[in-house]
Amino acid sequence: MWQRVALAVGFERELEAAVVVARGSRVRLAGLHAAALDAFEARARSFEGPPMVAPSRTTLAEVRHAAIYKMVAAGSRRANTWSVEADPTTLSGGACYPHLRIGEPLVMRRAFEVDTGPGYFADASTGPLPATDSACGWIGPMRLNLGTFPWVYGGNLSPSAPGLSWQTAGNHVPAVAAMRAAASMWTPLGNLSQDARVVAAQLGHFRRHTDPLVEDIPVWEVRGRPRPDGVLYRRGGLLYFPQGSLEIVVLLDPRGILGAVAYNYILERFAVFFAMRRAVLRARDVWTPEMERAAANNPDPCLRALPARKETSRAS
């Protein structure tokens, strides 16, 4: 699974090196998961955003990192870190930063894109409006769809993922904070801590608005049929473009540009979440106490309907 993520995000070499070291230390799955996150951090520290002077870049990284940390913490209490939302005026710096470029006047800008309008993940936001004295012009709540990181804005699913331009400053690595939140849901404990209804609703919305865009693309499922040559096709629900780069393929819709790479990555993130949920439920007999508490605190009615686990007695 991490190999698919690394291929789409662009840290295959870092991941390969980290996995070699992890396997040499005889670690288990948790160790490989941590090694993959370390590999992503090595790549994230080289992300390049728009040019700006060092003080602005440092402040921007700090504001982004602090905002993600606070939103994830708040989302965890509500069993939802897949799609987090907050009043920006309650976040560090008001989710604003001083943008300064050589030869230009200093202006206050938003640390994240506005994502409150209709998009591929949701319709217009219904969250609380921030105070009118926002220093950088926020006029609605701030939303980040961390479950599909690095594609975090429902109206910006272009081939270039927004999260891959979040620059670093010292210990402030916003892309890693977001990736940790996303990757936590690929683990048994993190998966049980997420309300699946949120994920299912977002998947339904995504499919309603993307299925019409791909329905005319030919399907090739092998079975004796020749593969379409030199044209975009679908297989297993994903898009493929033989003899060409999938990164140049975009689908156009009033909700925004939908890159083929983003489409595949996002569908896979939904699939991984629900595959993990099914696997965890099948393995109920080996849940840890932490997993039991996570499920008990989750408002998801499917988890609340689970019968109490029978304790096995051991002969003394």
Q: For 45-72, what is each residue's pLDDT tens digit?
A: 988 877 777 888 899 999 999 999 999 9
Mean residue pLDDT of the chain comes to 88
Q: Residue 313's pLDDT is what?
A: 44
Collapsing DSSP states into helix, strand and coil, what is residue 298? coil
Nearest C-alpha neighbor of 151 from the set 33, 12, 269: 269
Q: What confidence tier does 132 reach under pLDDT thresholds 50, 70, 90?
A: low
Count Cβ atoms within 10 A of the Cβ of residue 104 and give its class: 0-12 exposed, 13-18 middle, 19 or more buried.
exposed
Q: For 187-244, what is each residue's pLDDT tens digit?
A: 999 999 999 999 999 999 999 999 999 999 988 876 666 666 778 999 999 999 886 7
Q: Which of 15-24, 41-50, 113-122 has the highest mean pLDDT?
A: 113-122
Q: Residue 31's pLDDT is what?
A: 77
**Rounded mean pLDDT of 34-45?**
90
Please work out, in degrees rounded to the nearest 5, the angle formed at the alpha carbon of residue 161 by the alpha carbons of 57 and 217.
Answer: 165
Q: What confidence tier does 27 reach under pLDDT thresholds 50, 70, 90?
A: low
Tokens in use for 244?
A: 């060409």
Q: Residue 55's pLDDT is what?
A: 84
- Which amino acid appears at position 214 of this protein? V
**Which of 9-13, 151-155, 290-294 is predicted with the least confidence, judged by mean pLDDT?**
9-13
Q: Residue 91's pLDDT is what?
A: 92
Check whether 85 has a pLDDT greater than 50.
yes
Q: Residue 315's pLDDT is what?
A: 44
A 10 A CB-CB count for 64 gives 29
Check whether 32 has a pLDDT greater than 90.
no
**Rounded mean pLDDT of 110-114?**
93
Q: Residue 282's pLDDT is what?
A: 95
Instruction: Quickly tell me which residue has 């949120």 as its tokens.
Output: 198
Q: Tell me phi and psi for residue 243, to 5 degrees.
A: 60, 35
Instruction: Pinpoint the alpha helices (H) of 124-258.
Output: 174-184, 188-192, 196-214
Q: Residue 26's pLDDT is what?
A: 55
Q: For 148-197, what is each residue's pLDDT tens digit?
A: 999 999 999 999 999 999 999 999 999 999 999 999 999 999 999 999 99
Q: What confidence tier does 12 reach under pLDDT thresholds 50, 70, 90?
A: confident
Percent of the chain with pLDDT over 70: 90
